[in-house]
Amino acid sequence: MEVSSKLKSGISRYIPVYIALLALSGLQVFLAYARLDRNRLLASMLAVAILSAALAIMYFMHMAQERRSFFWSLIPATIFVLLMMNMIWSDSFRLLHMRPF
Amino acid sequence: MSESEQSMVLGHSAAMEPSPYAIPSRKLAMWLFILSDACTFGALLFAYGYLRTASPNWPTPFKCFPSILHVSIMTVVLITSSLTMLGAVDASKSGEKSKAVRWLGITMVLGAVFALLHIREWAGMIHEGVRLFENPWGSSLFGASFFSITGLHLLHVISGVIAMGVIARGYSRGSLSAGHVESTALYWHFVDLVWMFVVPLVYLMSIARPQ
């Protein structure tokens, strides 16, 4: 028991997440040069970034080890606030077609 | 029990209430700070997206060499520093003081390397003529948005390196606890997390493609 817990201690247990984060960053660079159209590129970049962020929050920041109530109190509220900021987009498209200068 | 003893017990009982979510209040405070900071960066990145969408002549100046190569190296350095920070947290939790301070030192060095590479990247951009309100390529808003987003992130990195120095000193002297190391680690991982959004949205969406 003690031996197995010692083996699992230290940074070695985070190495798979570390490698996954490096690989996801590499994937983003690859996608940038993959000649996707802009919308598809943005969607794929954001998907990869959100996956990286989720890995970092759950394993590096140990959210996976906290109580579930902690996760459900903080993360959905933050995501809601960030989503509400998306209301600006229609105006940015309007500006593109109705440039005042 | 005398009245004064009773009031002391009652007074302390409020302080001894179980923490919500069963985590120390220091850690909860750091999480709340991180979430509010996430909204600050979110607002900046959305504003950047707004300006970019509304500007038909948005510059795409980032060449594979040196910009994207620099940014890739910076990403590796920052993610590695998150790993070494985890080493500090683990060592501090198991009471290995000198090991924890050593890991904190390595993380500080990696943070400083990141900041230096970032400043070098900025110097390259400034050398090419990018200023806050002008640049040689297109929309004049490019410089303002580029420098404010990357600048705020750089400020977080520099603050983190300084905070780690203070925590390492206090922890090695015994005035700070393993909880302080853990809270600082949360902040540092958040700095890493923000970079994962800054790189694709600011740099990789604006790479220079050969004509």
Domains contained in chain B, CATH given: 25-206 (1.20.120.80)
Read off the tokens for B78. 């920052």
Distance from CA of B113 to the nearest CA of A (A): 18
Name every chain A residue with its beta carbon within 8 A of the beta carbon of B64.
33
Residues 6 or more apart whose Cβ sits within 8 Å of residue B122: B147, B150
Distance from CA of B40 to the nearest CA of A (A): 10
Q: CB B186: neighbour CB atoms within 10 A?
A: 21
pLDDT in tens, B102-135: 999 999 999 999 999 999 999 999 999 999 999 9
Arithmetic mean of pLDDT, A52-76: 95
ipTM: 0.89
Confidence of residue A7 (pLDDT cuts 50, 70, 90): very low
Arithmetic mean of pLDDT, A16-20: 97
**Cα nearest neighbour of A52 on chain B:** B196
Q: CB–CB of A56 and B76 under 8 A?
A: no
Distance from CA of A97 to the nearest CA of B (A): 8
Nearest by CB to residue A88, choosing from B46, B86, B197, is B46
Confidence of residue B211 (pLDDT cuts 50, 70, 90): low
- The answer to whether residues B172 and B164 touch, using CB atoms and an 8 Å cutoff, is no
Q: Does any CB of chain B come closer than 8 Å to the CB of residue A18? A: yes
Distance from CA of B35 to the nearest CA of A (A): 7
Q: CB B58: neighbour CB atoms within 10 A?
A: 17
- The answer to whether residues B202 and B148 touch, using CB atoms and an 8 Å cutoff, is no
Confidence of residue B50 (pLDDT cuts 50, 70, 90): confident
Q: CB–CB of A74 and B79 under 8 A?
A: no
Indicate the average pLDDT of chain B: 91
Positive or negative: CA dihedral B61, B142, B76, A41: negative
How many contacts, defined by CB atoms under 8 Å, are there between A and B? 119
Q: CB–CB of A92 and B84 under 8 A?
A: no
**Cα nearest neighbour of A87 on chain B:** B46
Q: CB–CB of A25 and B79 under 8 A?
A: yes
Distance from CA of B178 to the nearest CA of A (A): 15
Q: Does any CB of chain B come closer than 8 Å to the CB of residue A85? A: yes
Q: CB–CB of A96 and B56 under 8 A?
A: yes
Q: Does B7 score more than 50 pLDDT?
A: no
Report CA A99 to chain centroid distance, whole Å.
Answer: 34
- The answer to whether residues B146 and B100 touch, using CB atoms and an 8 Å cutoff, is no
Nearest by CB to residue B189, choosing from A60, A73, A85, is A60
Q: Does any CB of chain B come closer than 8 Å to the CB of residue A98? A: no
State the DSSP string of A14-30.
Answer: GHHHHHHHHHHHHHHHH
Arithmetic mean of pLDDT, B71-87: 97
Window 5-34 of B: residues touching A by CB (8 A cutoff) are: 21-23, 31-32
State the DSSP string of A74-88.
Answer: HHHHHHHHHHHGGGG
Arithmetic mean of pLDDT, A10-22: 94
Residue from B171, B185, B148, B71 nearest A63 by CA: B185
Confidence of residue B53 (pLDDT cuts 50, 70, 90): confident
Q: CB–CB of A21 and B79 under 8 A?
A: yes
